[in-house]
Amino acid sequence: MSRRLPHAASSRGLPVELSVAGATVRGFAGESVAAAALAGGVRVLSRSLKYHRPRSAFCMEGHCGGCLMRIDGAPNRRACQVPCASGLVAEGQNAFPSAEHDLLGAVDFVFARGLDHHTLMTSSSLLNAMAKKVVRQLSGLGTLPAAPAVELPPVPTHRVEVAVIGGGAAGLAAARAAAEAGAATLLVDDQLVPGGSLRADPLLGPAVADDAIAAATDAGAILHAATTAIAFFPEDDGGVLVAASERQARRVVARQWVWATGGYPVMLPIADNDRPGVLALRAATRLLLQHGILVGGAICVLTDPRLWAEAEVAAAALRRAGAEVTLLEVAQAEQILGRKAAQAVALRDGRQLDCDAVLLAALPSPATEGPRQQGCAVELSERAGGFALVVDADGRTTVPGVWGCGDVCGYRGPAAAAAEGARVGASAARAALGAAS
C-alpha cells in the first residue's frame, strides 16, 4: 500500500480534509488532490471515455489526462494540478454509479478486441440508428458545470525582451542567464511549483529546484507558476503567446522566445498499462521527494533499457524509503494484472511478480506543441522518444528569434539541461538587447 513517510511530517503544510471519489481523505496544504488520493489509498479516480476502464493519476504533472475529475462542480479538472483544500469535493467522471463500481465497465468486456466506431453496426441502417442513439447518450467527457462562471478576470499583456516557457532545469537556468545579461525576462511554468524534473530527481531534488528558482528571481526574472502556455498567435502584435492559470489568462509579447518545456512521461507498450497503480517512475520519485509519499510497498519498475542508470538511482531511493523494489527491462514484462488497480506483473518467462505499484520509465516525449505552433521544425526519432525540437549547436530553432533548450530537444537529463539553458538564455538575451539598440 501507498503510505506517508513519518520523517517528512515536519515539512508538510496544514492538514485538510477533502472528499475524493466518495472517500474522505486527509491531505496537506501544498499537495494536489491526486497526491492526497494516492496517499489515502483511493485508487480509482475516474473511468475512461470509451471502454470505461478504471483510471487514476499517472504522470502527476497535468499532462496525461489520467486523473480528470469533477472538482467542486467543475468538470474535467486535473486532480494532480488542483491544490488540496478543506471541504473540497472531487467526484469521478464517466461512471455509473461510481468510478470504483461502474456498470458501463461492461463495454470493455463486450468489445474485448476493440471497437471501431466507423464500422459499428453499419451493416443495418436500423441497428446503426439505434447504436448512434446509445453512443450519443454515453459519449462525452464529464458533464457541464452546475452554475455559470461569475468571475471574468481581465487579460493583462506582458511585454518583455525574453520569454521563457517552462520552469524546469533548462528554463530556470535560461531565465536566470537572460535576466543577468540585462534582459527583461518572464518565465511561465505550468506546475503548481516550478522546478520540473529537478523535483523528481533523487540526485538533485527539491532543494536544487528551490535554489534555481531563487537564482532566477534574484537575477530579476519574473516567474508565473501554475501558468500554462495555451496558444501562440503569430499574426497579432508580432506574435502573442497566451498563457493561463486556473484564474487568469495573460498575453505575452517578447522579442526572443525560449522553449524549455522538457518532455512528458509516457506509457510503455505493455498490456493493461493504463491500470490505476501504474505510474510514471518520475511521478513516484516526485511524490517521494516533494511530499514524502511512497506509492507502494512492493514496487515493480519497468524501464526502457536506455534509462537503466536513472531507473537504478530511482529504485535505490524508493528502497531507502522502505519499499521492496524489482527493476526490470520493459521487454521482460507481458501484462499488468489486477482486478482494477495493479496487483502483479506477468513476465514473458511465465513468472508472475506480485506488487502494489508498477512504475514505468520511458524516454520523456518532447513537449513541442508550443514551438510547433510557432512554426519550428521537429524531427521524429527513437532516441528522442518522439518529435524533438530541431535546434542548432547554439540552441536556435528553425524560426528566427525562437530558441530551444533541455529535454524538448531530446532527452538529456536535468544536469545537462541546466547547462544548456544557461547558454541559450544568455544568447537569447544578447539577441533581444542587440535588436533593441
Partner 1 sequence: MKKIVLCRCEDTTLADLEHCVARGYCDLEEVKRYTGFGTGPCQGKECLGPVGLALARLTGSAVRPFTSRPPLSPVPLRLLASDPAAYRFADDPPEPDRAEPAEPDDAATSTREGA
Q: Which of residues 12-71 bind partner 1 (CB under 8 A)?
A: 48-51, 53, 55, 58-59, 62-66, 68
In angstroms, what is the minimal distance from the CB of 297 to partner 1?
26
- Is 151 one of the binding residues for partner 1 (CB under 8 A)? yes
Site for partner 1 in 117-136 (CB under 8 A): 118
Q: Which of 154, 349, 400, 437 binds partner 1 (CB under 8 A)?
A: 154
In angstroms, what is the minimal distance from the CB of 253 to partner 1?
13
Site for partner 1 in 383-402 (CB under 8 A): 384-387
Closest-CA residue to 202 (of 416, 415, 418):
415
- Is 335 one of the binding residues for partner 1 (CB under 8 A)? yes
Between vectors from CA 7 to CA 191 and to CA 203, what angle results, nearest 5°? 55
- Is 411 one of the binding residues for partner 1 (CB under 8 A)? no
Site for partner 1 in 70-99 (CB under 8 A): 74, 76-78
* CA–CA dist 318, 333 (Å, integer): 20
**Among 146-154, 170-178, 310-318, 413-421, the segment contacting partner 1 (CB under 8 A):** 146-154
- Within 10 Å of residue 132's Cβ, how many Cβ atoms? 13
Site for partner 1 in 195-234 (CB under 8 A): 228-233
Site for partner 1 in 160-199 (CB under 8 A): 190
* CA–CA dist 337, 346 (Å, integer): 7
In three state form, how does the secondary structure of 317-379 look? Answer: HHHHCCCEEEEEEHHHEEEEECCCCCCEEEECCCCEEECCEEEEECCCEECCHHHHHCCCCEE
Torsion 7-13-19-21 (CA) sign:
negative
- Sheet containing strand 344-347, edge to edge, reads 333-337, 344-347, 352-354
Q: Which is nearer to partner 1, 273 or 290 (CB)?
A: 273
In angstroms, what is the minimal distance from the CB of 279 to partner 1?
13
- Is 368 one of the binding residues for partner 1 (CB under 8 A)? yes
- Is 330 one of the binding residues for partner 1 (CB under 8 A)? no
Site for partner 1 in 269-298 (CB under 8 A): 269-274
Q: Which is nearer to partner 1, 177 or 344 (CB)?
A: 344
Burial class (CB in 10 A: 0-12, 13-18, 19+), 225: middle
Q: Which of 380, 434, 435, 436 binds partner 1 (CB under 8 A)?
A: 380
Residues 379 and 234: beta-carbon distance below 8 Å:
no
